[in-house]
Structure 1
C-alpha cells in the first residue's frame, strides 16, 4: 500500500524530476527508523525503463496537528503518514544525529572534525527550491537535503570541506553531512552549513540596482543612478579570483594540450548545431558564434584547468555585511557526477557570471512595452558591471591574457546558446535575453 501512496504523492512534488511522465513502479530500497515516529526512506522510481532514486523523511503520528495537515501523504491503519521535513519536532533529530556522529542501519550522520554543533535550534523548511529541500535551524545552520540521489560524494561537500580546512575566505562554514551506501558507493544525502542570516542574495541586489536605473532620468548615466552596483561587481570579481586560487591550491590541477583545446571547440560547435536545429532563430547568429569558436582553434598555448564552481551566477553568491560568499559548489545538478567533478578552466565560471549580469540587466524588460526604449540602458548597466567584475577578478589575482580572452568569449557564447534552447523550451518570451549576447559589443 505505501509504495502506491508514495508514488501518487511524489508525482506532485516540486522536486520530483519525472513530472509529465507516468510512474511505472515505485519500490522502497531502504527504510530506516531514525527515532520513533521518524523513518528515512530511499525509494526507486521507474519511468520508461529508467530508474531514479529519491530520499523521503517519513513522519508518523496518531494525531496530526493542524500545522502539519498540508504535509499529509496518507492515513494507514489509523496512523498519519506525512513529509517529516515540515515537522520541527522530528527534524531536530537530524541536527542531533550529526552532532553526535550517529549511525542507523548504514545511514551515517557526521560532523566536520573540530566544529561544535548547537542542537537547540528548531528547524524551518525553505520553500523556494526546485530540486532540493533545505531546513534552516535558527539563525545558525542550513541543512540541504538532496531529494534525487546520485551515487557518490557530492562535489559541494568535497569542495567546502577542503576549502574550510584551508581557512579559505568567501565560503559558508560546513558543519556536517549525512551519507549512505548507494550502489556500493558512499553517497551524500545532505549537507549542513553556516546559515548566512544577515546576507543578501546577489541576484536580488543586482535587480534592485537595475530597477533604480530604469526609474531614474533617461539621461542619467548608470554610474550616477541610485543603487549603482559596479563597486559590488568589482568586489565579487576579486572574491571569485580568490576562490579560484583556493580551489587550485586544494585540488590537483592540469593543463589541456592544444589538440584537446581544439576538441573543446568542436564540442562547442556540435552543441551549436543541435541548438540551431531546435531554435532556428539562432541561425542568423551562427557566423558570430562560429568566429568566436574559431579563435579558440587558433590558440597555440596549453590551457590550465582545475576544480571550478561549475554553475556560477548571481544566484549562487550572497553579500554579507563584510564580503561576498560563494554557495552551491555542486555544479549543474542535471549533469553526471563525473562531469561536475571534472577539471575545467576557471574562465567557465567567469563566463557564467558575465552572462548573469546580462540576464539581470534584461530580466525586467521581458514583456514590457517600453523594452526597446530601455534596451540601451540595459546594455549600459550590463557593460558597466561586466567590466567592473573583470577588473576585480584581475585585482584579485585572476589572469585573463589575450588567449584567455578568446576562450572566455567562446565559453560565454556557448553558455548563451544553451540559454537560448532553455528559454525556447521553458519561457519563450525570454529568448530575447540570451539572443542579445550575439550582438556586437562596443
Structure 2
C-alpha cells in the first residue's frame, strides 16, 4: 500500500471513531513506527501508525492507530483484534515493558464506551488503555502510576508500550465491579444518606497519593503572587464573557488577595480531581486517570502545583453531587468536613489557599456550564454567593 493510500485509509478509519477529534482538519501523512512484531506467513505483525492531521491555523495533531499488518494484505486497527497487544507485553517485545507477571488465557474485549482513548479488557484481570491523541514524551498517566505502584490507592501497573520515548499504551489492573464515585455520591444524596464515611476514605486516599508523589518526585515552591495572578487572569477572562460571574468578581478578588503574600509548596498532583475520577472496588477507593485536564498542554499538565488544587476539585464535585441528588446543605457540609479530615486538614480552620483554588475552580465552572450545561450554572454561582462580603 502506498503512503497516500495508507493516509487515506487511516483517515477513513479515524473519521468514524469517537476518539478522533481531528475532523475539522485534513490528513497530511502517516508516519510508521518500528515493528513490535514483524509479520510472518502465519501471523500478522504489529507496528504503530501515526496519522498526522493539519489545521487551517497551521498546527498539527497526531493520532495513533496500532496497525495489525498481514504479510500479504492491508493493515487494520489492532484494537479490533486486541489479544496481540497483551501477547507482545507478555513476550517483552520491542517497546513493551512488562512490570509484573501476566496471567494466561485472558480473552480480549474492547470497551465500546471509550471517548478519548481506547480501553481493552483482558478477562477480569487486566485493562489496556491505548492512547489515541499522541504528544511526544512519556504519558502522565503512565508516569504517575509507575510512582504509585504498591500504594493500594491506584490500580496496579502491569506495563506499558513505548516507542522512541513516547508512551502509546498502558496496562493496568482491572478493578472488580467498580462503582463510579460521582454516581454513588449522587445516589446517597438523593436518598438523604450520609456520605461522610466514604468522603473520609476519599480524603485519606488522596492524602496517600500526594504524600507518595512528593516523596518520589520531590517538591518545590512558587510565590503566592504568581498563583494569585493566574487566578485573577482566569477570573477576568470568564467575567468578560459571562455576565453571570461579574457580581462575584469583587468577593473573588478578595479571596485571591489572601493568597498573594504566601510562599506555596508545589509538587506533582492529579490535576483533574473530582468524584468521576475515583472508583469504589472491594470496599476501598481507587484514584484513576492521572492525565490532568485534557485541554491543557502536556507541559502544563506536568507542571508542579499545590496539592490543594486536587482537594478543591473534589470539594467542588461534592457540590455537584449535592445538587444532582437534591440534598440539603447539611449533607454537603458533612461531606466537606469528612473529606478534609480524612485528607489531614482541620475543617474548622480557614485555608486561604484552598479557598483560592476552590473559587478559581468555580469561576471555570461558570464558563463551562454557561456554554454546555446552562441548567447547572446555579451550582458554581451558589458557591460563589457564599464568599464573604467586603467591609
Same topology, TM > 0.5: yes
Q: Which residue of 2 aligns with 1:68?
A: none
Q: Which residue of 2 aligns with 1:209?
A: 188
Matched, 1:96 2:87: yes
* Of 143-152 and 191-200, the range deviating more from structure 2: 191-200
Do the aligned partners of 2:157 and 2:171 also contact (CA within 8 Å) in 1? Answer: yes
The gaps in structure 1 that reach 5 residues or longer are 63-76, 214-226, 365-373
How far apart, in 2, do the equivalents of 1:175 and 1:412 lie? 35
The gaps in structure 2 that reach 5 residues or longer are none
Q: Which residue of 2 aligns with 1:311?
A: 272
Do the aligned partners of 1:363 and 1:433 also contact (CA within 8 Å) in 2? Answer: no
How far apart, in 1, do the equivalents of 2:90 and 2:348 lie? 47
Shift of 1:231: 0.9
Q: Which residue of 2 aligns with 1:279?
A: 242
Shift of 1:253: 1.0
Matched, 1:5 2:13: no
Matched, 1:173 2:160: no
Shift of 1:425: 2.2
| Aligned residues: CA RMSD | 2.4
- Aligned equivalent of 1:17, options 16, 21, 46: 21
Do the aligned partners of 2:153 and 2:287 also contact (CA within 8 Å) in 1? Answer: yes
Q: Which residue of 2 aligns with 1:232?
A: 198
Q: Which residue of 2 aligns with 1:417?
A: 363
Shift of 1:378: 4.3
Residues 1:401 and 1:329: Cα distance change in structure 2 (over 3 Å): farther
How far apart, in 2, do the equivalents of 1:378 and 1:336 lie? 38
Matched, 1:47 2:55: yes
Q: Which residue of 2 aligns with 1:131?
A: 116
Q: Which deviations, in whole Å up to 9, do the C-alpha atoms of 1:295-349 show, x marking residues without a partner?
A: 112x4x4222111111111111111224211112221232122221221111111
The equivalences for 1:312-327 within 5 A come to 312-327=273-288
Residues 1:273 and 1:208: Cα distance change in structure 2 (over 3 Å): same
* Of 195-204 and 346-355, the range deviating more from structure 2: 195-204
Do the aligned partners of 1:7 and 1:26 also contact (CA within 8 Å) in 2? Answer: no
Do the aligned partners of 1:248 and 1:306 also contact (CA within 8 Å) in 2? Answer: yes
How far apart, in 2, do the equivalents of 1:244 and 1:2 lie? 45
Shift of 1:427: 2.2
Q: What secondary structure sits across from 1:296 in the alignment?
A: coil
Do the aligned partners of 2:22 and 2:53 also contact (CA within 8 Å) in 1? Answer: no
Q: Which deviations, in whole Å up to 9, do the C-alpha atoms of 1:49-82 show, x marking residues without a partner?
A: 21110111345689xxxxxxxxxxxxxx9x6765
Q: What secondary structure sits across from 1:273 in the alignment?
A: helix
- Aligned equivalent of 2:256, options 285, 293, 318: 293
The equivalences for 1:322-361 within 5 A come to 322-361=283-322
Do the aligned partners of 1:151 and 1:187 also contact (CA within 8 Å) in 2? Answer: yes
How far apart, in 2, do the equivalents of 1:9 and 1:428 lie? 34
Do the aligned partners of 1:156 and 1:329 also contact (CA within 8 Å) in 2? Answer: yes
Residues 1:129 and 1:386: Cα distance change in structure 2 (over 3 Å): farther
How far apart, in 2, do the equivalents of 1:382 and 1:125 lie? 38
TM-score (norm 2): 0.89
Shift of 1:255: 2.1
Q: What secondary structure sits across from 2:158 in the alignment?
A: strand
Do the aligned partners of 1:4 and 1:26 also contact (CA within 8 Å) in 2? Answer: no
Q: Which residue of 1 aligns with 2:342?
A: 392
Do the aligned partners of 2:44 and 2:69 also contact (CA within 8 Å) in 1? Answer: yes
Q: Which residue of 1 aligns with 2:176?
A: 197
Matched, 1:383 2:377: no
- Aligned equivalent of 2:226, options 251, 263, 269: 263
* Of 134-143 and 430-439, the range deviating more from structure 2: 430-439
- How many residue pairs get aligned? The number is 377
Q: Which residue of 2 aligns with 1:72?
A: none
Do the aligned partners of 1:331 and 1:340 also contact (CA within 8 Å) in 2? Answer: yes
